Structure 1
Amino acid sequence: MITNYVLSLPFDPDDPTFSPGEFFDLGKDMDHIGGEFLVLRTEECYFYFLCTEDCDIEGLCRAYDWYIVSGDRFNDRLKIGMGLAGSDKYDGELFRVEDEDTLGMWRDILRFVFMSDFVRSFYPLDNRFRGNLRIDGAPCFYIHDYYPVTHNAKPTAGQKKTVNLIHRFKEGACAALAAKIFSLAILRMAWFGELPNPVVVPVPASTRERHQRRFASFCLHLSHRLGVEDGFRAVWIEEDREQQKGSTGPRSLDGVKFNKKYVAGKDILLVDDILTTGGTFTAVKRRLEKAGAASVTGVFLGRTV
């Protein structure tokens, strides 16, 4: 059996804070997961795995807060999958396999399946903010350019995946994945570490049922990953506003109440799926400031192009 349980940080000779001794060592956990496995980890936070059925790859990922996006049986003996790791820059291979021939074959399988153009993922896994702007004086950050299908007769494959991610997020169908993507993007930003009292608060949906479905699980996952307060209960929809869908301005928030317990003196991470005109964001921001928020920063999956 051959093994490697260490990932190294890529060497940057121009980084004065870099220590050549920095590495990520999973050796202490290897006895608990069993079986044979190969994990390929990239600097862009992706990881790909191939392992035997008796390998507890899920337990290993939970221990290090890595998120498995998809996984399935490769054959009657092996499991294959991919996911998102942490926000650090460790890359390389972790493995425990029978011999060099097995390692080479498994490596070729993962590279062919996940690193070639042969298979396209269902969702885009970009996890860095693509752009930023100020709306009503508040900084706002977004991950994707969003091209609505109705505005784009011939969307690219990447644009289709972005539309799919955003629509599924609206339905509450990929809350854990969206939270992982948001957390990686936010944790890279220097301004996040400077916020003294951050809390995650969602932009209210048009109905109470949609708000619950879209944001309850998402806010729980995101606040946990960021290590901040979950402000889902900062927003309460007393009356559905279906007839006001698409409207902006103060009256677009008729029937919405804000709980000062989650707002006063807090640095609000105001989260939503799409930024279009910024009208709803501005209205919510001003209500939060009126309720005593210390600051408001907008973070979005996409910005309409």
Structure 2
Amino acid sequence: MRYLWKRRLLHLFFPTRCPVCGDIIGAMDCFCGECSGKLTAYSGSFCIDGADSFTAAFVYDENIKPAVFLLKDGTDGNASYALGSFLAEKLRADGTDKRTDVIVPAPMHRRDIRRRGFNQSLLIAREVSRLLGIPVEEKAIAKSRHTRSQKELSRVSRTVNLRDAFTASPDIKGRNILLIDDVCTTGSTLREITAALKKAGAASVHCACCCKTPQQKYESES
């Protein structure tokens, strides 16, 4: 209840805006009606090696891209609230919330956090946590080695780039993890984090992201 009043109060001084087009919307709204109607819900089937399930809210396309850019360029605005709300709804619908007991956001290297100012996956994880009542464990895994940006690389290079880049805490032993990231492309990041969590003793790892890119782009890559 306190969170809801805080959003309504902030809305009086800093009106809530649609994270796609920038139009003013209601204090508790995620997107404006027009943009919401253009978004494509993800209904595909995708597997992360080693993970127990995979969930995504939207297909990553030109319609949702502006909201993701708000997160990635360090602005955020209403983006984490909107994306996190839809992801939480999808996780509740497919029952993943009943199979997990702790949320772990995909980590960023400290150098990248200093540049951006925050970890966008953590912001999304907090929104999901608020709606599903599952606690967030920010320090369950760390990115101990700086890597190149994944978007610059091919499928094979993405895997090599992230090898041994993540270190999980032994405190997650026996826990059922909900691993959250913003966008999934080939699944390399989620796969490497899942492997680190399982190696540290996680009972299960359920991967979730706000957006999943169309897979066709990578089918011809070796």
Return the TM-score normalized by structure 2: 0.67
Say whether 1:202 aligns with 2:105. yes
CA–CA distance in structure 1, aligned partners of residues 160 and 67 of structure 2: 29
CA–CA distance in structure 2, aligned partners of residues 227 and 80 of structure 1: 26
Residue 11 of structure 2 is matched in structure 1 by none
CA–CA distance in structure 1, aligned partners of residues 164 and 145 of structure 2: 8
Residue 104 of structure 1 is matched in structure 2 by none
Residue 298 of structure 1 is matched in structure 2 by 207
Residue 65 of structure 1 is matched in structure 2 by none
1:179 alignment partner AA: G
Q: Residues 219 and 232 of structure 1 are in contact (CA less than 8 Å); yes or no, is this contact kept in structure 2? A: no
CA 1:287–1:184 in 2, change beyond 3 Å: closer, same or farther?
Answer: same
CA 1:125–1:286 in 2, change beyond 3 Å: closer, same or farther?
Answer: same
| Aligned mate of 2:128, from 222, 243, 246 | 222
- Aligned-residue offset at 1:167: 1.9
- Aligned-residue offset at 1:170: 2.6
CA 1:124–1:225 in 2, change beyond 3 Å: closer, same or farther?
Answer: farther
Residue 43 of structure 2 is matched in structure 1 by 130
Larger CA Rg, structure 1 vs 2: 1
Structure 1: gaps spanning 5 or more residues: 1-57, 63-67, 72-78, 86-113, 148-159
Residue 181 of structure 2 is matched in structure 1 by 272
CA 1:192–1:162 in 2, change beyond 3 Å: closer, same or farther?
Answer: same
2:85 alignment partner AA: K
- Aligned-residue offset at 1:162: 1.0
- Aligned-residue offset at 1:61: 8.0
Say whether 1:182 aligns with 2:87. yes
Query: Once superposed, what is the RMSD of the aligned Cα atoms?
Result: 3.5
2:26 alignment partner AA: G
Q: Residues 123 and 165 of structure 1 are in contact (CA less than 8 Å); yes or no, is this contact kept in structure 2? A: no
| Aligned mate of 2:55, from 141, 150, 171 | 141
Identity of aligned residues (%): 23
CA–CA distance in structure 2, aligned partners of residues 80 and 215 of structure 1: 24
- Aligned-residue offset at 1:250: 6.3
Residue 220 of structure 2 is matched in structure 1 by none
| Aligned mate of 2:167, from 257, 270, 274 | 257
- Aligned-residue offset at 1:268: 1.2
Q: Deviations over 1:30-85 (max 9, x none)?
A: xxxxxxxxxxxxxxxxxxxxxxxxxxxx64987xxxxx9549xxxxxxx9736449
SS in 1 for 2:130: helix
- Aligned-residue offset at 1:123: 9.7
Say whether 1:212 aligns with 2:118. yes
2:209 alignment partner AA: F
- In terms of fraction of residues, the more helix-rich structure is 2
The number of residues matched between the two structures is 188
Return the TM-score normalized by structure 1: 0.51
| Aligned mate of 2:26, from 70, 81, 105 | 81
Structure 2: gaps spanning 5 or more residues: 9-14, 19-23, 215-222
Runs of 4+ more than 6 Å apart: 122-126
